[in-house]
């Protein structure tokens, strides 16, 4: 304890020994009674949201090659290609930065766009049922496998974000977190939970 006080005082030469001791003691007290819980949980939830967006972006990056591969065998399926391309464009335009995670409307827009893309992808993958040569194409099979893996990662990332947000939001509303939220963290707001539509919880069928 004494060593901590002396090191702290060295960083602030004008600070008296008594005041340095008080500041150090206050810091240890705040740390011990949960002061750091809210910012720690907030940063953890933001990191989990970054995982969600990264995995959705990975899915979006796979789509152009997937569309071109399917198009090579089913050029007449123009409507489906258009739907997928337009849905991808809408989904990639909506980004939520950490400062917007407390905005339920922004989250709803993000979810809706991703759900529309999931639906369009499902229709694209279903085309292969009508084209046996496409189903055996190695490039298509590789893309199919990557898409399946990405959808699984999206599911895990989404679940982890939901858990992190629920923990953070609960801390803001329960003792002793609500005391910190009412004093030192008055600008902190509950984060919007990711509540995808029921059909969006199921990844597009990519196994045949």
Query: Long-range contacts made by residues 34-41, C-beta under 8 angstroms, separation at least 24?
Result: 34/176, 34/177, 34/180, 35/180, 35/184, 37/171, 37/177, 37/180, 38/168, 38/171, 38/172, 38/177, 38/180, 38/181, 38/185, 38/188, 39/185, 41/164, 41/167, 41/168, 41/171
Average pLDDT over residues 140-162: 96
The secondary structure element, H or E, covering residue 197 is none
What phi, psi does 32 have (nearest 5°)? Answer: -75, -25
What pLDDT sits at residue 140? 95
Compute the distance between CA of residue 115 and CA of residue 158 in angstroms, rounded to an integer: 13
Cα separation, 199 vs 195, in Å, equals 11
Give pLDDT, residue 19. Answer: 53
The pLDDT confidence band at residue 10, using thresholds 50, 70 and 90, is low
* pLDDT score of 206: 43
* Mean pLDDT, rounded, for 124-135: 92
**Domains in the chain with CATH codes:** 1-32 (no CATH), 33-201 (1.20.1440.20)
Q: Read off the pLDDT of each residue in 157-184 and give the average, rounded to a whole number.
A: 91
The values of phi and psi at residue 172, to 5°, are -65, -25
State yes or no: pLDDT of 130 exceeds 50. yes
Chain segment 17-73, per-residue pLDDT in tens:
555 444 444 444 544 557 789 999 999 999 999 999 999 999 999 999 999 999 999
Average pLDDT over residues 84-101: 95
Between 163 and 195, residue with greater pLDDT: 163
Question: CA–CA separation, 41 vs 167, rounded Å?
Answer: 7
For residue 196, the model assigns a pLDDT of 54
Strand boundaries in 26-124, DSSP class E: none
pLDDT, mean of residues 100-118 = 95
More confident residue, 15 or 159: 159
- Considering the chain, what is the average pLDDT of its residues? 83
Q: How far is CA 36 from CA 24, 29, 32, 101, 115, in A?
A: 15, 11, 9, 20, 36
Gyration radius from the chain CA atoms = 25
Range 127-149 average pLDDT:
93
Run of H or E including 65: helix 37-71
């Amino acid at each position: 304890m004494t060593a901590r006080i002396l090191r702290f005082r060295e960083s602030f030469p004008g600070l008296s020994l008594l005041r340095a001791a008080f500041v150090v003691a206050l810091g240890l007290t705040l740390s011990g009674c949960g002061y750091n819980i809210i910012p720690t949980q907030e940063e953890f939830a933001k990191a989990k949201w970054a995982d969600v967006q990264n995995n959705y972006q990975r899915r979006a990056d796979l789509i152009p090659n997937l569309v071109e591969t399917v198009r090579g065998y089913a050029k007449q399926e123009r409507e489906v290609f258009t739907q997928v391309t337009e849905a991808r464009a809408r989904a990639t335009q909506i980004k939520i930065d950490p400062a917007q995670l407390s905005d339920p409307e922004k989250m709803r827009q993000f979810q809706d766009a991703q759900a529309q893309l999931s639906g369009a992808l499902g229709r694209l993958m279903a085309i292969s049922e009508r084209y046996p040569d496409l189903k055996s194409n190695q490039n298509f099979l590789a893309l199919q496998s990557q898409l399946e893996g990405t959808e699984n990662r999206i599911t895990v990332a989404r679940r982890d974000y939901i858990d992190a947000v629920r923990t953070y939001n609960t801390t803001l509303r329960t003792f002793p977190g609500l005391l910190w939220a009412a004093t030192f963290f008055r600008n902190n707001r509950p984060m919007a939970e990711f509540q995808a539509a029921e059909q969006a919880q199921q990844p597009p069928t990519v196994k045949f």
